[in-house]
């Protein structure tokens, strides 16, 4: 049976079981209402014991339905009891003509009184559970199973989880049809419920699929799984740039890496895509010492009010341009500011501002970056970095190509 057919059949069996379980009992018999001096008691379900209590002793009157010509003598109360239901319901002993519906104590006890319908309903539920059980390798697993090593996302089998950020988790994966490793990134469901994020994500990922540049990770395909977007990208062998900076890199290497990053950014910006979270940990450096920018295609759902929740939702604070705090849809020059932080890190071994997120953001808004003190670096290189770190976007370079030209002239 096809997966869709099994699912439909399973759902139908669950509905039928629910109908059988909660099918109302027959209403009490109809007929003339009792006269004021007549004692008449019914219950749903029937069979409840009816007791007369005068406060000192109890006398069993019978089981519902009960019809007596007269009430017991004296003042007292009628107590109705049925095993598996709430212990009792008490009514003043007068002419009681309305049916009593006892409150169930629990489903299992309730089922005891529904034979044989209960057993039939349980059988239907077991059959439904069998039909709805995921088949191995069918892609019908629950989300938790999919997003663990060995699970499946689209045409990929997940391997080791290699990272998790504010927006997504990342796994190494292999195509089911065979081939080299890929990186599968699954965006968290909370972001996928944001219509603006979804719109930008779909647009930017579609554009990123058309990228053909050695400095940009290629997005192979993307899809949706259990209300979460995922995308598969080429897996880049190498080390994160942040692991390489140490106490700072030589000027020649800084300029060479910086120019390659500018070339990659220019391609993305020409296509209308802004990274918005460029940082050294999003730059992989291969054995050939060529940098590759990762994480394009994840549009940021950034809002100022989210700073108080977690600054990481705005991008990484240490690399965040001032305008991104108040302008979620910041333009290409926002990436140039982040590039300036990356170059500063390559020059000095550290970012200009570090510490708790909120103070760091305030520093980006108000404070000039500390000067680069390395004496072996050309002043022209330091000047390029400082211009990229200007607070106002219009005071920075016009675009990535202009930055590349400035680095080439160092």
By percentage, how much of the chain surpasses pLDDT 90? 33
The answer to whether residues 49 and 80 touch, using CB atoms and an 8 Å cutoff, is: yes
Which residues form the domain of 156?
Answer: 135-235
Which range is most confident: 27-36, 156-165, 365-374?
A: 365-374
CATH number at residue 231: 3.30.200.20
Q: Is 277 a catalytic residue?
A: yes
pLDDT digits (tens, 9 = 90+) for 357-374: 889 989 999 999 999 999
Q: What is residue 113's predicted lDDT score, i.e. its pLDDT? A: 41
Average pLDDT over residues 54-77: 69
**Domain final residue pick, 194, 216, 235:** 235
Residues 119 and 187 in one domain: no
Q: What is d(CA 254, CA 245) in angstroms, rounded to the nearest whole number?
A: 10
- Specify whether 198 is located in the same domain as 276: no
Report the CATH number that the domain containing residue 270 is assigned in CATH. 1.10.510.10
pTM of the predicted structure, to 2 decimals: 0.60
Q: How many domains does the chain have?
A: 3
Which of 109, 132, 155 lies at the terminal end of a domain, its last residue? Answer: 132
The pLDDT of residue 36 is 46
Distance CA 181, CA 174 (A): 5
- Confidence band for 129, pLDDT divided at 50, 70 and 90: low
Residues 406 and 260 in one domain: yes
Distance, C-alpha 333 to centroid of its chain: 31
Mean pLDDT of the chain: 76
Q: Are residue 290 and residue 354 in the same domain, yes or no? A: yes
Residues 231, 245 within the same domain: no
Check whether residue 284 and residue 397 sit in a common domain. Answer: yes
pLDDT at residue 58 tops 70: yes
Confidence of residue 200 (pLDDT cuts 50, 70, 90): confident
Q: Ramachandran region of residue 178, left (φ > 0), alpha (ψ -120 to 50) or beta?
A: left
Does one domain contain both 75 and 185? no
Each residue's pLDDT tens digit, 96-128: 444 444 444 444 334 444 445 555 666 666 676
Q: Which range among 90-94, 156-160, 185-189 has the greatest average pLDDT?
A: 156-160
Lookup: tokens for 338:
């982040």
Q: What is the pLDDT of residues 274-325, one digit of tens each?
A: 888 899 998 999 989 999 998 775 544 343 333 333 333 446 899 999 998 7
**Is the pLDDT reported for residue 43 higher than 60?**
yes
Same structural domain, 354 and 294: yes
Q: In angstroms, how far is the first alpha carbon of the chain from the final one?
A: 68
Distance of CA 334 to the CA centre of its chain: 27
The pLDDT value recorded for residue 401 is 98
Q: Which of 277, 295, 302, 335 is catalytic?
A: 277
Residue with more model confidence, 275 or 62: 275
Judge whether residue 331 has pLDDT over 80: yes
Per-position DSSP letters for 49-65, written without gaps between them: EEEEE-SS-EEEEEESS
| Per-residue pLDDT at 151 | 84
**Does 123 lie in the same domain as 11?**
yes
Do 403 and 409 meet the contact criterion of CB atoms below 8 Å apart?
Answer: no
Q: Would you state the pLDDT for residue 345?
A: 97
Choice between 219 and 138, residue whose per-residue pLDDT is larger:
219
pLDDT more than 70, % of the chain: 65
User: 58 and 13 in one domain?
Assistant: yes
From 84, 105, 132, the end of a domain falls on: 132
Same-domain pairing of 186 and 271: no
One domain for residues 210 and 251: no
């Amino acid at each position: 049976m096809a997966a869709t057919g099994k699912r439909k059949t399973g759902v139908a069996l669950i509905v039928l079981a629910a109908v059988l379980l909660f099918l109302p009992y027959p209403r009490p018999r109809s007929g003339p209402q009792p006269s004021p001096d007549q004692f008449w008691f019914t219950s749903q379900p029937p069979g409840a014991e009816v007791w007369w209590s005068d406060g000192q002793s109890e006398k069993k009157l019978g089981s519902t339905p009960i019809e007596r010509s007269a009430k017991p003598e004296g003042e007292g109360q009628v107590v109705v009891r049925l095993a598996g239901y709430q212990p009792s319901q008490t009514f003043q002993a007068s002419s009681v003509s309305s049916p009593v519906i006892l409150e169930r104590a629990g489903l299992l006890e309730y089922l005891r009184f529904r034979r044989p319908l209960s057993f039939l309903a349980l059988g239907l539920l077991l059959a439904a559970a069998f039909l709805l059980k995921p088949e191995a390798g069918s892609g019908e697993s629950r989300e938790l199973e999919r997003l663990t090593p060995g699970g499946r996302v689209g045409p990929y089998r997940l391997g080791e989880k290699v990272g998790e950020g504010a927006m997504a988790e990342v796994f190494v994966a292999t195509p089911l049809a065979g081939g080299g490793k890929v990186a599968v990134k699954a965006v968290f469901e909370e972001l996928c419920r944001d219509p603006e994020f979804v719109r930008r994500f779909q647009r930017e990922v579609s554009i990123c699929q058309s990228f053909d540049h050695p400095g940009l990770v290629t997005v192979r395909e993307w899809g949706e799984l259990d209300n979460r977007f995922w995308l598969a990208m080429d897996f880049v062998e190498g080390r994160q740039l942040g692991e390489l900076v140490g106490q700072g890199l030589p000027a020649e290497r800084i300029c060479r890496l910086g120019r390659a990053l500018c070339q990659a950014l220019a391609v993305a910006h020409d296509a209308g895509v802004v990274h918005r979270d460029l940082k050294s940990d999003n730059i992989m450096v291969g054995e050939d010492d060529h940098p590759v920018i990762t994480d394009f295609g994840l549009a940021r759902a950034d809002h100022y009010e989210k700073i108080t929740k977690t600054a990481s939702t705005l991008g990484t604070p240490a690399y965040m341009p001032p305008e991104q705090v108040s302008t979620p849809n910041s333009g290409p020059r926002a990436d140039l500011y982040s590039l300036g932080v990356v170059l500063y890190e390559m020059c000095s071994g550290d970012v200009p501002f570090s510490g708790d997120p909120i103070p760091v953001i305030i520093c980006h808004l108000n404070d000039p970056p500390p000067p680069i003190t390395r004496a072996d670096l050309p002043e022209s290189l330091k000047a390029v970095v400082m211009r990229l770190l200007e607070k106002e976007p219009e005071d920075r370079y016009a675009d990535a190509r202009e930055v590349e030209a400035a680095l080439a002239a160092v």
